Amino acid sequence: MLMVTICDSLRSSFQEHAYPADELMPLTCRGRVRGQEPSRGDVDDALGKFSLTLIDSLDTLVVLNKTKEFEDAVRKVLRDVNLDNDVVVSVFETNIRVLGGLLGGHSLAIMLKEKGEYMQWYNDELLQMAKQLGYKLLPAFNTTSGLPYPRINLKFGIRKPEARTGTETDTCTACAGTLILEFAALSRFTGATIFEEYARKALDFLWEKRQRSSNLVGVTINIHTGDWVRKDSGVGAGIDSYYEYLLKAYVLLGDDSFLERFNTHYDAIMRYISQPPLLLDVHIHKPMLNARTWMDALLAFFPGLQVLKGDIRPAIETHEMLYQVIKKHNFLPEAFTTDFRVHWAQHPLRPEFAESTYFLYKATGDPYYLEVGKTLIENLNKYARVPCGFAAMKDVRTGSHEDRMDSFFLAEMFKYLYLLFADKEDIIFDIEDYIFTTEAHLLPLWLSTTNQSISKKNTTTEYIELDDSNFDWTCPNTQILFPNDPLYAQSIREPLKNVVDKSCPRGIIRVREESFRSGAKPPLRARDFMATNPEHLEILKKMGVSLIHLKDGRVQLVQHAIQAASSIDAEDGLRFMQEMIELSSQQQKEQQLPPRAVQIVSHPFFGRVVLTAGPAQFGLDLSKHKETRGFVASSKPYNGCSELTNPEAVMGKIALIQRGQCMFAEKARNIQNAGAIGGIVIDDNEGSSSDTAPLFQMAGDGKDTDDIKIPMLFLFSKEGSIILDAIREYEEVEVLLSDKAKDRDPEMENEEQPSSETDSQDQSTEQITSNSQEVDLVDQESSEESSLHSHPESLSPTDTDNAASISPSEQNSDPLENYETLSLDGECTDLDNQLQEQSETEEDSNPNVSWGKKVQPIDSILADWNEDIEAFEMMDKDEL
C-alpha cells in the first residue's frame, strides 16, 4: 500500500538525518534538538531529548505490519533513550506521547511474543522504562488540588532551584484531565496503584470544579485554588481530550462514574456549544453567550468521539463542514471563522480530522469516507511532501512550509489513514481488542479486569439524571446502527454540501494568472520595497495598504483588502504583507540567543526574584563565562547616550540605563568607560513585560563591537521596575547576571520556595496563540533588534492579523531594516489567498519612567505587579 511505502521512506529519512533527535526537520534535513534550535516557546516542551518520534511511532510500525522494523526500533529505544535529562518538559505531552508510546509499544510487543515469531527476547523492558518515566512525572502532582503542574524537569523534578519550573499556577483542563488512560494502564500492567490514584484524583477535582448550572468546564484552571482562569468552554484546544478520556476511561476501566460524568458534560455540550454543523465556544457562566466567532482545528476530533458515543448525526454534520473547509484550503487551518474565513493560517499536519474520518467509516461503511481519506493523502503528497519528509504548512493560503514535522504525524496521521484503507487481513492482530489513546496509542481492553486494586466507588456527586436517549448507543454496535445503509449518512451530508462555497466563492487565482499572461506589470515584492520611493507608496495604496504614523516616529503598515482598487490588487497586498512577514522571520532566525536571567541576591530577596532578560549580541557571553555579580546604580544621563556625569556612582557596579535615543552598543561603551562591570537596559515603553511581549536580543550598531567586554542584558519595563522599586526601598541592591538562575543563598534554605517569575516560559498553554503575530525588527533606538522567540503553537498558529512599522529616519536598502510588526485585513474574495481581519493599531505609552512614585513596600510592589499581569492576561482571553 502507498502508506506503507511512504512510511518506509519517512523512517529511512528520520534514521539518516535526525536520529536520535526528538523530531525531523524536513526542510533542512536535520534533527531538532532542544537548545540547539531557536526556541519556539511552549511547542518545544514536548521535546525532552528522548528520541520522541521513535517512541511515539513504535506501535504504528506494528499496525503497518512492519514487525521486523518494530523489533529493531524497540532495541534502539532500550539502547539509546535516556529519560534522566536536565530538560523541562510538558507533563501532558510527555504523558500522551512518551509514556503512551512506551505502553503502546509494550502492548504490541507482548502480543507479538505470544504469537511466537517476533520479540521472543522481550521481557517487559519497555514497561520498565514506562514505570521509570511514570515515577519521574509523579512529583508534578504535588499540589493541594491534585492537579499536576504543567511542566516538570525530568532530572530534578519540581520547585528545586535546578528544576527551573514549579512556579506556574495555571494549567489547561485537557492537560490535567488527559492522564487516566496511560496512568491507569501503567498501574494495571505493573500493579503499582499510585499512578491510577493520582490520575483519578485530578479527574475528580476537575469534575467537582465544573460550573454547576451549565455543567461545563473552562479552558484554564488554577492548580492550587481550583479557580477558573479562563472561563470560556468548548471542545477544542485546552479542553478536548478531557472529554475524550472520560468516555474512554469508562471503556477501558469499566467504571460507571466516568460514563456518568461524560454524559453530563455531553448533554451540556449539545445544549450550548453545538450549533450544527458548528461547535462554538461559550462562557461557562453564561452558556447562551458565544465566547468567540471562530473555531480551532483541534475540535476535528469530536466527530470521532461522537461515533464512540453513538451520536452519529451531529458527527456526520460537523465532519462534513470540516471537509468542505479542507477542500477550500487543501488543509484545515489552525482556526477559521464561522463564515469559514481563515483565522489562523497554519496547519502542522494535525491528525484529528483523519481520526474522525476513520471512525465515521467504521460506523457507517460509507465509501464516501474513503474518498475523503484519498483527498487527504493526495493533498499531503502534493502540498506537504518535501525531500526529507512532510513539512507543516506555515500558511494554507500561500502553501508556504514550516521546518517542522511533529511526532504525531507518524504516531497518528499515518496510523489512521492506513487503518482507513486496510482490509482486516492486512492487520496482524484484532484492532477491536484495543482502545486508542488521544495520541492513537493502543491499550488492550483486557486491562479492565487486571489488577483492579483501585476502589471503583462512584465519586460523581450531584449527578443529574438525564433523558434516557442520552445513553442510547454508547459504545455502539455499528451493525445495528447502520445495517449497511450508507445512504443514511449521505442524506445528512447533502444539505451541507455547499455550506462553505456559499460563504466565499473562488476565482481570484485564475484572474491573477490571466492578468499576467496579458502583460500586466508584476506586483511589488516585499524584498524590493523602499519606504522613501513615492511609486512604491502609491502601489501600496492601490493594494489597500495604508500608512499610520505612530507617536514614536515609526510608520505602521496595515492592509484592508476592502480598500484595494480591485480584488487582484487586494491579493497582491496580501502577498506583499505575507512576504514581509516571511522575510523578517528569516532575519530573526539568523542569530538567536537564549534568554538570560537577572537575579536579585541581596536582602531581603536572596535569589527569590529572578527576572527574565534579553541577551546582547555583543559584550561578555554569560553562557561561556562566569556570571557577573554586583550592586546596581543608575547612570546619568539615564539614557546612557553620552559620557556619564556620575562615573564614581557606577564604578565597579552594574549600571542601569534606559532604552532609547541611541544604539545599545553606544550605551555599553559609555558605561564601560565609566568603570561599570555590566549593564542592564530597561525598556522605556512603560508597562511592557516579558510575560506579554516576545523577548528580543540587543544587536550591535553595525560596527566592530569587540571592544565591549562587559555583559549587557535587557529588561522590559515591568521587570525593570522591580529593581528600581527595590532601590527606592532598600538603597543597596545586588544582582546576579547569568545565563540561568542560580541556587539561592544559604540563608534562604529554610524559607519558602520561590514564587517569582523564574521561568521565561511560564505562560500557560492557552497563550500559545495570540491575536497578532509580532515581527520584532529595527526601531528608532536599535537598528538591528530581532525577536528572540517566535510565537509558540500547541495550538502554535500564525495569525492573520499583522502590522508593519517603519522608522522614516532609516533609509537602509534592506526592506526589512525598519519593520516591527505586520498587520493584514483581507476581504473574502478567495479563501485560498484572501482573509478578512480587523487590525488594531497599537501606540506606545509614555516612554518616560516616572521617578515620583510613592514608595511602597517591596511585597506590595510584587503583588501589584502580579495583579497587573493577571489583568492584562484577562483582557483578550478570547483571542489567546
Q: Cα angle at 736 between 735 and 741, to 5 degrees?
A: 125
pLDDT interval class at 555 (50, 70, 90): low
pLDDT at 776: 35
pLDDT at 815: 36
The answer to which of 239-253, 476-490, 772-786 has the lowest mean pLDDT is: 772-786
Dump pLDDT digits (tens) for 568-608: 787 788 778 877 766 565 555 444 567 788 888 888 878 77
Dump pLDDT digits (tens) for 253-262: 999 999 999 9
pLDDT at 853: 36
Contacts by 862-865 with C-beta closer than 8 Å and gap 24+?
862/609, 862/722, 862/756, 865/718, 865/721, 865/722
pLDDT at 540: 86
The answer to which of 31-40, 130-139, 567-576, 724-733 has the lowest mean pLDDT is: 567-576
Higher pLDDT, 451 or 484: 451
Higher pLDDT, 767 or 69: 69
pLDDT interval class at 754 (50, 70, 90): very low
Distance CA 624, CA 77 (A): 33
Higher pLDDT, 343 or 476: 343
pLDDT at 469: 54
Distance CA 646, CA 673 (A): 12
Give percent of the chain above pLDDT 90: 51
126: left (phi over 0), alpha (psi -120 to 50) or beta: alpha
405: left (phi over 0), alpha (psi -120 to 50) or beta: beta
Question: Among candidates 508, 621, 501, 635, which has minimal Cα distance to 575?
Answer: 508
DSSP state of 283: E
pLDDT interval class at 691 (50, 70, 90): low
Bridge partners for 633 per DSSP: 655
pLDDT at 595: 78
pLDDT interval class at 119 (50, 70, 90): very high
State the CB neighbour count (10 A cutoff) for residue 430: 9
Dump pLDDT digits (tens) for 511-551: 444 444 444 566 777 767 776 678 888 888 888 887 676 65
pLDDT at 153: 96
Higher pLDDT, 782 or 630: 630
Compute the average pLDDT of residues 603-628.
Answer: 84
Coil, strand or helix at 177: helix
Which residues does 682 contact at the CB level (< 8 Å), separation at least 6? Answer: 656, 657, 658, 659, 715, 716, 717, 720, 723, 724, 849
Compute the average pLDDT of residues 707-734.
Answer: 90
pLDDT interval class at 505 (50, 70, 90): very low
Cis peptide before 161 (omega within 30 of 0): no
pLDDT interval class at 632 (50, 70, 90): very high
Distance CA 633, CA 727 (A): 9
Distance CA 448, CA 188 (A): 8
Task: Take residue 771 and report the three cell numbers written for it.
Answer: 491575536
Per the CB < 8 A criterion, the answer to whether 397 and 345 are in contact is yes
Distance CA 674, CA 655 (A): 10
Higher pLDDT, 210 or 760: 210
pLDDT at 810: 35
Compute the average pLDDT of residues 801-830.
Answer: 37
In the chain the first and final C-alpha atoms are separated, in Å, by: 41
DSSP string, 195-233: HHHHHHHHHHHHHHTSBTTTTB--SEEETTT--EEE-EE
Per the CB < 8 A criterion, the answer to whether 406 and 392 are in contact is yes
Dump pLDDT digits (tens) for 44-72: 999 999 999 999 999 999 999 999 999 99
pLDDT at 499: 77
Give percent of the chain above pLDDT 70: 73
Distance CA 465, CA 671 (A): 72
Distance CA 20, CA 31 (A): 8
Compute the average pLDDT of residues 742-749.
Answer: 52
User: Does position 820 have pLDDT exceeding 70, yes or no?
Assistant: no
Per the CB < 8 A criterion, the answer to whether 473 and 306 are in contact is no
Residues noted as catalytic: 93, 240, 334, 352
pLDDT interval class at 741 (50, 70, 90): low
pLDDT at 378: 95
pLDDT, averaged across the chain: 79
pLDDT at 325: 96
State the CB neighbour count (10 A cutoff) for residue 436: 23
Higher pLDDT, 78 or 547: 78
Beta-strand relationship, 170-172 and 220-222? antiparallel
Q: Looking at 292-367, list the stretches that DSSP marks H as alpha helix, in order from N- to C-terminal side.
A: 302-309, 312-329, 352-364
Dump pLDDT digits (tens) for 867-879: 444 544 444 443 3
Task: Take residue 793 and report the three cell numbers written for it.
Answer: 503553537
Task: Give the type of residue at 772.
Answer: S
User: Does position 487 have pLDDT exceeding 90, yes or no?
Assistant: no
User: Does position 678 have pLDDT exceeding 60, yes or no?
Assistant: yes
404: left (phi over 0), alpha (psi -120 to 50) or beta: beta
Dump pLDDT digits (tens) for 394-448: 999 888 899 999 999 999 999 999 999 999 999 999 999 999 999 999 999 999 9
Higher pLDDT, 235 or 691: 235
Higher pLDDT, 666 or 696: 666
pLDDT at 160: 84
Compute the average pLDDT of residues 799-808.
Answer: 37
Q: What are phi and psi of 182, to 5 degrees?
A: -70, -45
User: Does position 220 have pLDDT exceeding 70, yes or no?
Assistant: yes
Dump pLDDT digits (tens) for 120-161: 999 999 999 999 999 999 999 999 999 999 999 999 999 888
